[in-house]
């Protein structure tokens, strides 16, 4: 008997080491459980204030069973805890750097003064501490945090530095949607990585990586290789982050199952949007609802990126509650175009080491644009990079310090799921995207392509709000 168990065990290990990729029968039992990140402890007893501590540290993690990789993480070996914030709350976040190199922490999508934004100017040297202080001024949303040191963002995120931020508010609490963290409301951080034969993470950029952004060969969700999550047969909410350096995900569920998108980068959409496919470029988030209620007990659903499986959902047991998803999720007041005091153009061009915005590459001591506090502007973002071969040279454009609305993509109204608040927008080759926004805080902020290899190569600029 022991021998049989051992043989099955070894079989399982082989199955793990890549065979599963080509397998067509999806043996669910072989997959690791989806890791659910911890929620970071708020050490301030005052309900209107929150104190958090994050430590950027080195770690070791077995992505591939029996092999250990050297990693970076926040308060752990890989990725970081979920930071839960409430609208109106006064927040202090202390960041300790226990890495052997300088880092920064940027709160992607969070509206904070430039001094708390954690961009490349806020380097924390090894052994040092940095404090971010701000009041949460925006509505409920799924945001994230990651390092932003000059020229090293791609590598540090790759090693594992990233985590989610949830902003909660009264309105979100009042909505009849799943919101039980880790029970019917799950974060899914999508990333792709390359491992060498010793199971180490490899970040060695070749020409294709510099051209199109890093493309891994192994897919991770919350840091696990093709994991499985058991859910109740009912309505389940997933908060998906494209946390990859360079990959754009084209997501769908097996059997082309319909799901409803309820939120984009900056919060809830006006109304749920029924979808079968979802494109997420690096940096973007989407919250979706999937109805498992009609699935057979014990059956499996797959989350796919094109032909590739990212993870498995096993439907088991009945959910306690049935939901009537509200048709009105949020009121999104359109920023009137007439209020715009200026239209600026941003042209993304070049490839590999020549990627640039408006003909320039990022310089720490150069402010590229100056805008006025609380004014409205339209930014016209164009992707002029020419693709070579069959791959598309996309550039997801991200702006710090704001949440914007997409006015048009090539002159046309954006699709329904992109009509809410955004901080990152995919700009396809040849496309022009117009966005409108108000600048709520003073300070120095970045705008850049969120393909981290492009950002590190200089596809970034700075604007100052005065």
- Whether 119 and 148 have beta carbons less than 8 Å apart is answered as yes
Interaction of residue 86 with Cu ion, rule CB under 5 A: no
Interaction of residue 395 with Cu ion, rule CB under 5 A: yes
| Element of type H or E holding 6 | helix 2-14
* Tokens of residue 97, six digits: 């750097």
What x/- string results for residues 375 through 414 when contact with ligand C2O is judged by CB under 6 A?
A: -----------------------x-x--------------
Interaction of residue 252 with Cu ion, rule CB under 5 A: no
DSSP letters along 10-48, please?
A: HHHHHIIIIIHHH-SS--GGGSPBPP-PPBPPP----TT
Closest CA to 76 of 62, 56, 98, 94: 56
CB of 195 to ligand C2O, least distance (A): 24
Contact partner, 395, from Cu ion, ligand C2O, none, Cβ < 5-8 Å per class: Cu ion
Residue pointed to by tokens 């991770």: 220
Between CA 461 and CA 346 the distance in angstroms is 10
Q: Which runs of E-coded beta strand occur in 82-226?
A: 83-86, 90-97, 106-108, 129-135, 141-146, 163-168, 185-193, 218-221, 224-225
Interaction of residue 146 with Cu ion, rule CB under 5 A: no
- DSSP 3-state of 180: coil
Which member of 149, 216, 234, 283 binds ligand C2O (CB under 6 A)?
283
Which member of 61, 84, 86, 108 binds ligand C2O (CB under 6 A)?
108
Interaction of residue 205 with Cu ion, rule CB under 5 A: no
Contact partner, 449, from ligand C2O, Cu ion, none, Cβ < 5-8 Å per class: Cu ion
Between CA 57 and CA 79 the distance in angstroms is 10
Name the DSSP letter for residue 181.
Answer: B
**Alpha-carbon 141 to chain mean position:** 12
Contact partner, 146, from ligand C2O, Cu ion, none, Cβ < 5-8 Å per class: ligand C2O
Interaction of residue 454 with ligand C2O, rule CB under 6 A: no
Nearer to Cu ion (CB atom), residue 231 or residue 449: 449
Total site size for ligand C2O, rule CB under 6 A: 10
Between CA 208 and CA 214 the distance in angstroms is 8
State which of positions 423-452 bind Cu ion (CB under 5 A): 449, 451
Region from 33-41, 210-218, 247-255, 445-453 binding ligand C2O, contact rule CB under 6 A: 445-453
Interaction of residue 434 with ligand C2O, rule CB under 6 A: no
Write out the residues near ligand C2O by the rule CB under 6 A. Answer: 106, 108, 146, 148, 283, 398, 400, 446, 448, 450
């Amino acid at each position: 008997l022991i021998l049989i168990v051992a043989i099955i065990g070894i079989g399982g290990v082989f199955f793990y080491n890549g065979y599963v990729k080509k397998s067509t029968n999806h043996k669910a039992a072989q997959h690791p459980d989806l890791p659910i990140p911890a929620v970071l402890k708020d050490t301030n007893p005052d309900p209107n204030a929150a104190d958090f501590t994050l430590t950027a540290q080195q770690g070791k993690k077995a992505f591939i069973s029996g092999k250990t990789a050297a990693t970076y993480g926040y308060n752990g070996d890989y990725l970081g805890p979920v930071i839960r914030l409430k609208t109106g709350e006064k927040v202090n976040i202390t960041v300790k750097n226990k890495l052997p190199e300088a880092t920064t922490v940027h709160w992607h999508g969070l509206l904070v003064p430039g001094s708390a934004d954690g961009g490349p100017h806020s380097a924390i040297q090894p052994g040092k501490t940095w404090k971010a202080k701000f009041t949460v001024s925006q509505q409920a949303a799924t945001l994230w945090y990651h390092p932003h040191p000059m020229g090293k963002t791609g590598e540090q995120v790759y090693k594992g530095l990233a985590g989610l931020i949830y902003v909660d508010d009264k309105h979100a609490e009042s909505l009849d949607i799943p919101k039980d963290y880790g029970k019917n409301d799950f974060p899914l951080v999508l990333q792709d990585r390359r491992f060498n034969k010793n199971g180490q993470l490899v970040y060695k950029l070749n020409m294709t990586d510099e051209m199109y952004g890093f493309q891994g060969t192994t897919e991770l969700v919350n840091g696990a290789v093709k994991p499985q999550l058991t859910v109740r047969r009912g309505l389940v909410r997933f908060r998906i982050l494209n946390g990859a350096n360079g990959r754009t995900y084209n997501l769908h569920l097996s059997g082309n199952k319909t799901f409803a998108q309820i939120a984009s980068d900056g919060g809830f959409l006006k109304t749920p949007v029924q979808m079968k496919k979802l494109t997420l470029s690096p940096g973007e988030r989407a919250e979706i609802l999937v109805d498992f209620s009609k699935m057979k007990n014990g059956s499996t659903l797959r989350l796919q990126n094109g032909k590739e499986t990212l993870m498995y959902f096993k439907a088991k047991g009945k959910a306690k509650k049935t939901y009537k998803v509200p048709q009105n999720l949020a009121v999104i007041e359109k920023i009137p175009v007439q209020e715009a005091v200026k239209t600026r153009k941003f042209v993304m061009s070049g490839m590999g080491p020549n990627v640039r915005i408006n003909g320039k590459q990022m310089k720490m001591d150069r402010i590229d644009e100056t805008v006025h506090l609380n004014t409205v502007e339209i930014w016209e973002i164009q992707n002029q990079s020419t693709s070579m071969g069959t791959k598309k040279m996309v550039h997801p454009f991200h702006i710090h310090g704001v949440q914007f609305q997409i006015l048009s993509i090539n002159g046309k109204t954006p699709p329904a799921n992109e009509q809410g608040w955004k901080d990152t927008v995919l700009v396809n080759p040849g496309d022009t995207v117009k966005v409108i926004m108000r600048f709520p805080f003073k300070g120095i902020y970045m705008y850049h392509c969120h393909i981290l290899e492009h950002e590190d190569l200089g596809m970034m600029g700075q604007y100052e709000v005065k």
